[in-house]
Amino acid sequence: MKKTIDSPIPFLLAASLFLAGPATLCAADLPTVRYQGQPTNCTLEIQGTSTFHDWEMKSTLMGGWVDFPAGVSFDLSQTNLPGLKDGNLPASGTYAILVRQIQSQVSVGASVMDGVMQDAMKETNFHRIEYHVTELKLQTPHVAGQPFTFDAKGDLAIAGVTNQVAFPVTIEPLGKNAIVIRGAAKLKMTDYKVTPPAPNIVGLGIMKCGDDIKVLFNWTLLQTPPKP
Amino acid sequence: MAMMGGVELTAPGCRRSQPLQIKPTLAGAEGAASGAAEAPQPAAAAEKLTEIPPVPPVNYGVIGAGAWGRKIITTLTLLKNDSQFKNTGVVAVCDHFPSWLNRAGDLAPKAEKFDDYKKLLAKPEVQAVVVATPTHQHRDIVLDALKAGKHVYCEAPLANSIPDAKDIARAAQKAFKQVFQPGLQERSHPHRHFLWPFIRTGALGRNVLVRAQWHKKGSWAKTASTPERAAELNWRLRQATSTGLMGEACIHRLDAVTWFMGGAQLGGRPSAITGFSSLILWNDGRDVPDTVQCVFEFPDGPNAGVRFLCDATLCNSFDSEYEMYYGTESAILMQPGDESRESKAWMFKEVDATPLGWEIYARKDSFGAETGVSLVANASKQAALAPGAAAANAAPLVEPLQYALQSFTANAGAVSAAVKDYEELFGDADTPEYRAKLAEARKYSFSQFPAAGWEEGLEATVLAIKANEAALLKQRLELKSEFFEL
């Protein structure tokens, strides 16, 4: 019996997949494993300067997720990391912080400083800070026993302005199914159109904050069970 | 009240509502307790301060529009004048008596009016409710409100029976996403937060005796156009619905004294009550006494041998309302604030008392033959002599109710915000992590705006109910720990 093709669609799909090549297949179709941000054991610190003294703000609530290739294992005893492609670990994910959860660490008057920060960051209109990772390049050689260190690139959105940023991060396992991602980045407030605050403190005068800030974070993520 | 000699005590660094309080905290000036001689700041300087950010919006429903309910509506409306509470508003009022509902509506013209509290609770825009109905009606309303996801401020006492009070406490304990605050307003007063460490750190020496009173001449009787309405209005005059003078009038004194004596954990919970009661003046058919005295005994421990005498009467107004703490080194008089006077306190030292030092510089007031060291922040001689001191001392009167509602508003707003933030990032599943994060948010919020919770509400309510019972029976009652346990 003569076989006929009822529809050209399956053929065209197969042809396009072949022509597109393995790279597309990897990016779009390779199975991934999701690590979900946890509400505990997380900290974000923002360190800054001012004409009075250095200051610090903190949050312990941050959310988001990261997808890695299935089978990746952050086994510190190994010198290799499975799942690398040309030195990069394919990953996608979002790290989110809520502006009003970032709190001043001064022992008194903290809520005043929280308000100053929220105003400067236009919290009413932009209540989230988001970072989307686009690239994780492993720094080599990896020394067995040490955390895996990556040069991370991604998009950071603050107060309605998105910039590409690069900074090193480390990843290490925490127990069986959890990992901790640690990182530190130097930023300028004005890059995000945030005017460095200058609150008027009675008895002390204008407290001018410096433009440069340093952000440090510890983020605990737990591997989620695969979807059925 | 009659003035005797004493040191006036008020609160340092409690930052709610008073912009001037920011300055000493940011500048690190903690001088209040030490009688620091700091000149009052000009009002113009306060205006330049960076404002405390407003608390997240809280929309109120007020259930019960009697005299006290209307006072609450007025106070909530006044809160908006403080920039920190500018997002607060009364959006719904409820009373089944049309005349009272209309009067409540006049006070909050934008509020929707309800004659059934369940309809009010069904409104999603109502985030918090104040329950200001007669005491015996609290239970069902509070339980329904908590079930509806509302924050609840319930007037004290919580209930007129221990089982009802425990039902409320259990429901409040379970509602971990909500704030429950009993109307124990002294717990939120900055002056009390100044006095508490002062007393707990031994300014009295060894405790000897505590005495408190509530004297206000008046019948408590209300007239109405129908006998049915009159019966409904006069719920305080019947034992079946009333907690008597000990509950309806003295609960704030009972709460404050047991708190200052150390609370349940530090030997401040009485172990027995002996009561007396009489109907002397208002013999109009009521079965609730118009004059009551109770003697509270404390258990073995730091207050062993100490007794607390509390008396209340509707037959005489002399000396109004106060607490007096007697110790081996000094006595402290605390005068609670109300709509006509600020909260104040004075210390009267024994001649052989150990000098504290700072009291030399403190302002002193005369009370007949006695001299009292004024226990007030910045109440120094130098401050009193500084230019503009008179104006600075004439601070606007802030009633305890206002502090309590500020605390409730701020804490309800903060907890609501924490719930919203957490659920935005992690969903609404009830997990130990979620509860831990909310507990953290509560700790932070409540440390800024201290307030009583269900534990204190239950403790004070049980004390009031048992004191009323002892007074009615004219007997000595042992206070068993099971009365206070859930």
CA angle B66-B68-B71, nearest 5°?
110
Q: Do A96 and B425 touch (CB under 8 A)?
A: yes
List, for residues B229-250, the tens digit of each pLDDT value. 999 999 999 999 999 999 999 9
Name the DSSP class of B405. H
Q: Do B53 and A201 touch (CB under 8 A)?
A: no
Which positions in chain A have a beta carbon within 8 angstroms of at least one beta carbon in chain B?
37-40, 60-64, 96, 98, 100-101, 103, 106, 108-109, 111-112, 114-116, 118-119, 199-204
pLDDT at A194: 97
% of residues, chain B, pLDDT over 90: 70
> Who contacts A164 (Cβ-Cβ below 8 Å, separation ≥6)?
A134, A153, A154, A155, A156
Domains and CATH numbers, chain A: 31-223 (2.40.128.110)
Please tell me whether residue A25 adopts helix, strand or coil conformation: helix
Q: Do B434 and A115 touch (CB under 8 A)?
A: no
Flag whether pLDDT at B21 surpasses 70: no
- Of B381, B327, B391, the C-alpha closest to B358 is B381
Give the distance, in angstroms, between the CA of residue B239 and the centroid of all CA atoms in the same chain. Answer: 24
Least confident range of A95-104, A195-204, B254-263: A195-204
Domains and CATH numbers, chain B: 58-187+401-452 (3.40.50.720)
Mean pLDDT of B462-471: 98
The string of DSSP codes covering A147-188 is PEEEEEEEEEEETTEEEEEEEEEEEEEETTTEEEEEEEEEEE
Bridge partners of A164, per DSSP, are A155
Local confidence band at B421 (pLDDT 50, 70, 90 cut-offs): very high
Residue in B415, B421, B445 to test binding to A, most A beta-carbons within 10 Å: B421
Flag whether pLDDT at A213 surpasses 90: yes
Q: Do A112 and B26 touch (CB under 8 A)?
A: yes
- Whether ipTM > 0.90 holds is no
List, for residues B361-392, the tens digit of each pLDDT value. 888 888 888 889 888 765 666 555 655 555 44
Q: Mean pLDDT for chain A? A: 86
List, for residues B167-220, the tens digit of each pLDDT value. 999 999 999 999 999 999 999 999 999 899 888 888 899 999 999 999 999 999
CA dist., res. B140 & res. B239, Å (int)? 20
Q: Do B436 and A108 touch (CB under 8 A)?
A: no
Bridge partners of B152, per DSSP, are B129, B180
